[in-house]
Amino acid sequence: MRKTSVAVMALAAILGWPATARAAAPIKVMLLDGEQGGPYHAWEETTPYLKKMLAEAGLFDVDVVTAPPRGGDFSTFKPEWGKYQVVVANYDAPDERWSDSLKASFEQYVRGGGGFVSVHAADNAFPNWKEYNLMIGVGGWRGRNEKSGPHFYYQDGKLVPDTAPGNAGSHGARLAYKIVNQVTNHPITQGLPKEWMHVPTNSTPTCVVLGRT
């Protein structure tokens, strides 16, 4: 649940929480789901939680859009991206699942100012779709490796890239760990402690590193 709450924080931050809190109309959100890489990422279970958390914020009007399953008919799957200010993806599919035209329509939406938030395993999706990987900023699994981009570590207070060969995606031991805020004035981290302990889970660096373990 921690990762979903962070997603809500990120969504509110990129859309400007203080401004929208005063706005009369709620922010239109498409919550996209329909597939995940395995039973351990059960979108059927997590989507209701995401929708509930967004609704409880009092800022968002959420529509769930479910893509066809593997082997389904995508010929009529043409999401109306333009109806929404932001797409929240709880969706993980391989490159071949979407046609070039469907991918192009989503690229056009984001280039035109549409918001996009990938939740947890959504950053595993579409490993060879260049524009999607630029959108998410960080990704793993589905065959990604050092050719997809380096690993990053903090060393002596600096963010250091590691281009050594290896798979991009693995789970270490699930241990409690300390988060250290690196950017304390960012909308997502503003008001949080400089340091705090996180419950046992896996840590993943972000494109703009706001905190380190």
3-class SS of residue 157: coil
User: What is the percentage of the chain residues whose pLDDT exceeds 70?
Assistant: 81
* pLDDT, tens digit (0-9, with 9 covering 90-100), for 84-131: 999 999 999 999 999 999 999 999 999 999 999 999 888 888 989 999
> Half-sphere exposure (CA, 13 Å, Cβ side) for 105?
10
pLDDT at 157 over 90: no
Helical pair 2-15 and 43-56, crossing angle rounded to 10 deg: 50
The values of phi and psi at residue 117, to 5°, are -125, 120
**HSE-up (13 A, CA, CB side) for residue 17:** 13
Rounded mean pLDDT of 134-162?
A: 77
3 state DSSP class of 131: helix
Q: Which of 4-18, 53-67, 154-168 has the lowest mean pLDDT?
A: 4-18
CA distance 211 to 13: 16
Please tell me the predicted confidence (pLDDT) of residue 212: 55
170: CB partners within 8 A, 6+ apart: none
Neighbouring CB atoms inside 10 A of 65's CB total 17
199: amino acid identity, one letter = V
How far is 35 from 122, CA to CA, in rounded Å?
10
What mean pLDDT, rounded, does the chain reach?
82
Residue-level pLDDT at 207? 45
Q: Mind listing the pLDDT tens digit for each residue in 14-44?
A: 455 554 445 568 999 999 999 998 777 889 9
Strand partners, 201: 175
Pick the CATH number of 1-139 from 3.40.50.880, 3.40.50.170, 3.40.50.980, 3.40.50.970: 3.40.50.880
> E strands within 122-182?
151-155, 158-162, 175-181
Phi and psi angles of residue 151, each rounded to the nearest 5 degrees, phi first: -75, 160
Using left for φ > 0, alpha for ψ between -120 and 50, and beta otherwise, residue 147 falls in alpha
pTM attached to this predicted model: 0.76
